[in-house]
Structure 1
C-alpha cells in the first residue's frame, strides 16, 4: 500500500511503538487459537515465568510460523527481568517492520519498476498490476503468512490486517487529504472515482459473503481473486477508449517518491565505496553509527538479492548475490527438516552447485563499470524472487511475533492485526500520499486519491484472494472453513459507510474535496476503532 518507490514507509514504521503501547488491552487470548491440541491458552493458568517455561517445553511451539519461538525466548530467559524481555520483543517488532518495509521499497519495487520498463507495459496497466503489487507487498506477504503458515489459527490476523489497512487508507488518509486541500477546492475525476468506489464496494461485499458463509473452496477463491483481473481490464479499457487520464504513471510516481525525503534508517547500497567521515561534521558520525547498527539487517539481503540498477551496481556484490541466493533457498527448503538426512544433503549440494555455476557465469558475463545490458530478464526475475523471499520471511516473523505478543499480554491477535500491523503497513500511504497531494498540484492530488482506493482494492481482491487460493489448493477438494470474529463484519460495515459518505459528499460538492468530507471520514474511522476496542475490552470481563 502507498507509493513504495519512496522509502519513506520504512523509517516511519517506528511510530508503531506508540500503537503497541496504547492498544495492549486485556482480552481473552483464546479468541485466536492455532488448530492444534497443543496450544498456548493454558498459559493463562500459570503465574510465573518458570512454570510457563516448563509448560512450553512440554508442547509444540504455539506460534510456529517464525524462526524464533518468542514465548520460550521470553519465559525461559528473562525470569526476574520481564520488562527487559518485553522491551526486546518490542524492539524486534520495530526491526521487523523496518526490514519488511525497506525490502519492499528498495528491492521488491525496484525489480517491479525495471520489469515494467523491460516489458514496455503501458502506464495504466503497470499502475494497476506491478505498481499495485509493489504498494501492497507488505500486506500481501502478511496475508499469505496468516493463511498459509503452520498455525492456521492466524486467519483472523490476515483478515483484520486487510480490513484495518483498507479502513485506515480510505478514511484516515483520504480524510486528511480532503481537510488539507479544502481551500484549494481540488476536483476529483468523476469517472475514475465512481469506478474505484464501485469496485471496492463489490470487493467488500464479496468478502462479506465469504465470511457469512463461513467457508470457500478453490473455485470460489479463484473467482474472488479473478475480480481483480476484471478491475485491471476495466481500468485499461477506461483509459484506452474512454479518454480517461492516466492515473498511474510509474515514472512520475518514482520521481515524486524520490523527493519525499529519506527514512530514519536509510541504507546506502554502496558498500564498495569507502566510508568517509568528516571530523568537523557531527552528522557524519551519526550516519556512521546508523550504518553500523543497520549493517546486520542490510548485508544479508544485499548479498542475496541481485540488483542491476545503474545507481547501485557493484560487480563483486552482484556475483556474490547470485552465488548466495540458491544457498539461502536451499536452507529455507530444509528448515525444520532433519539437517543430517539424505534429502537435506541433496538439497544443500544442489543449492551450492547452482550458486557456484551462476556466480561463475555472472563473473564472466558482466563488467565492473555498468550492469549487464543483455539477458537482463533473468537478473530481474532473480531480484524479484529473492526480494519476495525476504519479504515473506519478514512477514512470517512479524505475524509469529504478533501472535506471541497476543498470548503474552492477553491481547487478541486479531486486534493487533487491525491496529498495529495495519498501521505499520499503511503509514507510508499517509506520509507519501498526503505529501504528494499537498506539493504536486491538482495532478498530484488526483494520483494520491486514486491510489487510496486502488491500493485497498488490490489488497482485498488480490492479496487476500491469493492467500485463499493457496490455502484452498492445499486441501482441495475440501473447502476452507473460516471461523472468524463476527466483528470483522462490523468493521466491513464501517468501511462501506466511509465509501458511501465519500461518494455522497463529493457528488453534492461537485467532486471537490472539502473539510466536511474529511472530518466525516475521520469520525467514521475513530467510531469504528473505538467500538471494536470497547467490545474487545468488554470481553475480558
Structure 2
C-alpha cells in the first residue's frame, strides 16, 4: 500500500508462494518418503490449477501495468470462487463415500490415522507409551540453580525490551477473557482504541481534520464511562460480548499492520545500508520469515498425522499461497485502488518479478506433471525436483546480486 515499498509487497507475496509450493512441499515430501504415502489426485490437481490461475491473473495485471478498483475486487473475489469449488467438490465426494465410511473397518482406520490415538484400540486404557508422549517431568529436578538464574535474568531482559511496545498494545486492545480481565485496562483500552484508529487512518489516508480527533476522543470517552459503571474488577462484561471480541480482533489487526509497516521500513533501511535491492530482500528474507511457520507445521503434520496428515499438509502448501495471493494481496490492491479511485492504480514495474513468477510456474508444472505420473506418491524424486528448481532460482538471484549475470526481463 505504500508507494515507496509496494515492490516489496509484490515480491514478498510471490516469493512466499514460491517458497511454500517448492521448498515446503519438497521437504514435506522427502520427510515422509519412507512411509510411501499417497494423496488424493482430485484435490491436489484442483489446488495446483487454481494457484496457477492466480499467478496468471497477477501476471496479466503486472504486464498491463495498472489495475482499477473493479479489477481488484474481482481479483479478491476469486477466493470466494475457490472456496465454492472446494465446498462443491467435497460435498460430491462425501455423497459418494457416505455408505462406505460407515463400515466398521473404515472407522477403525480413521481412528488409527489420528496422531494422538494412533495406537489406541477399543477398550484399552490410555497410556503414555500408547500416546507416544514423554512422561511429565519436574523441571526443578533437571534444572540447576545456575540455569534457573540465567533463565530468570533472560526473562527479565526480554520483558524490559518488550515493555515499550507491550504497554501501548495492552492499552489499546480490549481483552475480555476471564483469566486476563482487568477493569482499569478494559476502560483505558476502550477509550484509546478510537484514537489509535483515527491516528492510523491519518497516516494511510487523507489528512484528518482536528474535529475528527475530537469526535473519536468523545466516542472513546463515552465507551470508557459506560464500561466503568457496568463492569466490575473480577468478571469481564457479559453483555454485548461479541462487540468486545470484534473490537479486540480489529485492534489486533491494526497492530499487525503497524508492526508490518515497521518491518518493511527496516528492510528498506537494510537494503540501503548493504546496497541490496529491497525487492530482493522482500523476495528472500521477508518471504522466508513468513513461510517458516508453514514449513514447521506442514512437516510435523505430514510425519505424525498419517495419510490424512500428509493430505492436509500438501494441500496446505498450495492453499496457503492461494489465500495470501488472493486475500492478502487482493485486500491491499482494493485499498490502493480505492485511494486512487476513479483513476487506476499504477502497478510498480520490477523486472525481477517476472523471473520469480516464471520459476513459480515451473515448480507448479513440475508438481502437476510428476506427482500424477508417480501415482500420487510423495517420494524423494518429487521433493528433490522442487528443491532443485528453487535452488536454481536462488543461484540466479545470487549471481545477479554479485554482478556475474546482468540482464533484464521485460514483458
Once residues 202 and 46 of structure 2 are traced to their aligned partners in structure 1, the CA distance between those partners, rounded to angstroms, is 46
Once the two structures are superposed, residues 449-471 of structure 1 have per-residue CA deviations (whole angstroms, 9 ceiling, x without a partner) of 22221110011122212222222
Counterpart of 2:39 (choices 168, 184, 188) is: 188
1:304: which partner in 2? 172
Shift of 1:370: 4.2
1:387: which partner in 2? 252
Where in structure 2 are the equivalents of 1:88-103 lying within 5 Å? none
The 1:356/1:423 distance shift into structure 2, 3 A limit, reads same
2:66: which partner in 1? 215
Counterpart of 1:496 (choices 349, 361, 364) is: 361
1:251: which partner in 2? none
Once residues 500 and 215 of structure 1 are traced to their aligned partners in structure 2, the CA distance between those partners, rounded to angstroms, is 27
Counterpart of 1:527 (choices 383, 386, 392) is: 392
What is the RMSD computed on CA atoms of the aligned residues?
A: 2.8
Once residues 169 and 534 of structure 1 are traced to their aligned partners in structure 2, the CA distance between those partners, rounded to angstroms, is 23
1:200·1:457 contact (CA, 8 Å) conserved in 2? Answer: yes
Once residues 272 and 147 of structure 2 are traced to their aligned partners in structure 1, the CA distance between those partners, rounded to angstroms, is 50
**5+ residue gaps in structure 1?**
1-147, 246-254, 256-277
Once residues 309 and 216 of structure 1 are traced to their aligned partners in structure 2, the CA distance between those partners, rounded to angstroms, is 43
1:155·1:484 contact (CA, 8 Å) conserved in 2? Answer: no
1:469: which partner in 2? 334
1:145: which partner in 2? none
Counterpart of 1:177 (choices 7, 28, 33) is: 28
1:326 and 2:326 are equivalent in the alignment? no
The 1:528/1:279 distance shift into structure 2, 3 A limit, reads closer
The 1:160/1:512 distance shift into structure 2, 3 A limit, reads same
**5+ residue gaps in structure 2?**
98-115, 117-144, 407-411
Where in structure 2 are the equivalents of 1:206-355 lying within 5 Å? 206-243=57-94, 281-282=148-149, 283-334=151-202, 343-344=209-210, 346-355=211-220
Report which structure shows greater RCO (CA 8 Å, sep ≥6).
2
**3-state SS, counterpart of residue 281 of structure 1:** helix
1:376 and 2:241 are equivalent in the alignment? yes
Count of matched residue pairs:
358
1:408: which partner in 2? 273
Once residues 379 and 147 of structure 2 are traced to their aligned partners in structure 1, the CA distance between those partners, rounded to angstroms, is 49
Once residues 338 and 196 of structure 2 are traced to their aligned partners in structure 1, the CA distance between those partners, rounded to angstroms, is 26
2:399·2:405 contact (CA, 8 Å) conserved in 1? Answer: no
Shift of 1:446: 2.3
Shift of 1:402: 1.8
Once residues 527 and 386 of structure 1 are traced to their aligned partners in structure 2, the CA distance between those partners, rounded to angstroms, is 41
Once residues 162 and 299 of structure 1 are traced to their aligned partners in structure 2, the CA distance between those partners, rounded to angstroms, is 31
The 1:314/1:540 distance shift into structure 2, 3 A limit, reads farther
1:334·1:347 contact (CA, 8 Å) conserved in 2? Answer: no
Where in structure 2 are the equivalents of 1:76-225 lying within 5 Å? 148-149=1-2, 152-225=3-76
Once residues 147 and 379 of structure 2 are traced to their aligned partners in structure 1, the CA distance between those partners, rounded to angstroms, is 49
The 1:470/1:352 distance shift into structure 2, 3 A limit, reads closer
Once residues 311 and 332 of structure 1 are traced to their aligned partners in structure 2, the CA distance between those partners, rounded to angstroms, is 30
Larger-Rg structure: 2
Once residues 341 and 252 of structure 2 are traced to their aligned partners in structure 1, the CA distance between those partners, rounded to angstroms, is 29
Once the two structures are superposed, residues 387-427 of structure 1 have per-residue CA deviations (whole angstroms, 9 ceiling, x without a partner) of 11111111112222222332232211110110111112112
Shift of 1:173: 0.9
Once the two structures are superposed, residues 256-314 of structure 1 have per-residue CA deviations (whole angstroms, 9 ceiling, x without a partner) of xxxxxxxxxxxxxxxxxxxxxx9993333433332233222222212211223344333
**3-state SS, counterpart of residue 522 of structure 1:** helix
2:26·2:383 contact (CA, 8 Å) conserved in 1? Answer: yes
**3-state SS, counterpart of residue 243 of structure 1:** helix
